[in-house]
Structure 1
Amino acid sequence: MSLLTPREILSAGAVIPVMAIHDLDTAVDLAHALVEGGIPTLEITLRTPVGLEAIRRIAKEVPDAIVGAGTVINPEQLQAVADAGAVFAISPGLHPTLAEAAADSSIPLIPGVATPSEVQLALEFGIDTLKLFPAEAVGGKAMLKALYGPYADVRFCPTGGITPATAPDYLALPNVLCVGGSWLTPKTAVQNRDWASITKLAQEAAALKTA
């Protein structure tokens, strides 16, 4: 897949599913189910032992997916996910060492921020497309509205505590490109390989963009 900008990545769908894959054998089918439902941008977290291999398999076998890595917290992980085929990386936070590594990386980093100072740190390194995390815990929509004043050119993917009921209000904000959520991949549905249910959840999430 050709190199996409962070804003193209986040604008491809209304919701980015935050996916902690425990069973590697479900990874490719799960990705196919989400893409079929209209959710192409996937965040595979490194919170599980098979996360990196899941990225590698999905990148190879699901060509229509925009595969990214989540929970990337240091330069070594950033390099590893790029080597595995991820086309973007998301981190829960930001520090100068990671920002410097991102400047030299072959894939874009979308770092997490929770305060104006962290937004300014990101901007200092030329990063203006961010993840607000943990969104609900740090003020949610009110925080995003407040940040829009001084940082009108910055765009966000709020993640953390967002539900199908609250997502439309976030998506209506001028500085929000999409939201992150874990509700698209219910553990029971994945364990049961109920891909039809996951595709239906993806279709409902994709429809939020035009709601």
Structure 2
Amino acid sequence: MLWDLWLERAKPLIPVIVINDPEEAVPMAKALVDGGVRLLEITLRTQHGLEAIAAIKKDVPGAIVGVGTVTSAHQMEDALKKGAEFVVSPGSSPDLLRCAANWGGPYLPGVATPSDVMQAREAGFRYQKFFPAAPAGGIAMLKAFAGPFGDVKFCPTGGIAQENYRDYLEQKNVFAVGGSWLTPAEAVSARNWQTISALAIAG
């Protein structure tokens, strides 16, 4: 599985990145990669997401660039054209699952309930995004998932911070964690790339 191959070469951390200024994308990505964090989820929460994916893909060797906050098949297709190597969505829908299956690449459908997990697994996706992790039950829910869904691995996101991410990574059904603590807004706005590299190294 591609996730396993990637994680042999990268830390099991996926920063959830919001691009407010396209000029910040490449230096931010370089700072993360320099710190050993290579799986970068560029969200579509702003209009600069697609542009940032293309720029990072072109100018940051070693980065594995994905797209997040994908809520439609159209968004997925646009991001793939820009070079996105993986796709993450906050939930899932029949259209998204079909589009991802047709593409055949690494896709993390968002799940929060057993029914969500079953729907995504039936569509062929055994790597899933558990979101929003903390409000949806956190580690207790992951432990509950482990019984009936022993063949599914999760990337919890939502309420994950520097103080608790290691607790999530200790769960046997967690392959990575996602969050925004690696790219704090104040460091990004100040273009303090050394801080972001330090956070990546510490992670």
User: After the TM superposition, which residues 14-53 of structure 1 pair with which residues of structure 2 at under 5 Å, given as runs?
Assistant: 14-53=12-51
Question: Cα RMSD (Å) of the superposition?
Answer: 1.3
Amino acid at match of 1:203: I
Deviation at 1:7, TM superposition (A): 4.0
SS in 1 for 2:158: coil
Equivalences for residues 1-211 of structure 1 within 5 A: 5-9=2-6, 12-105=10-103, 107-205=105-203
Separation in 1 of the partners of 2:7 and 2:117? 18
What do residues 105-151 of structure 1 show as CA deviations (whole Å, max 9, x unaligned)?
Answer: 15321111000001010111110000000000000000000000001
Segments of 4+ in structure 1 off by > 4 A? none
- Pairwise CA distance, 1:188: 1.4
Could you say which structure has the greater relative contact order, defined with CA pairs below 8 angstroms and 6 or more residues apart?
1
* Cα distance in structure 1, aligned partners of 2:155 and 2:5: 12
TM-score (norm 2): 0.96
Residue in 2 aligned with 1:208? none
1:59 CA displacement: 0.7
Aligned to 2:142, the other structure's residue is in SS state: helix
TM-score by length of 1: 0.92
Q: How many residues align?
A: 202
Structure 2, gaps ≥5 residues long:
none
Structure 1 residue 8 displacement after superposition = 3.7
Instruction: Structure 1 unaligned segments of length 5 or more: list them.
Output: 206-211
Deviations 1:60-108 (A, max 9, x none): 1112001000011111111111100110000000111110111111532
| Aligned 8 A contact 1:71 1:90 in 2 | yes
Share of identical aligned residues, percent?
A: 51
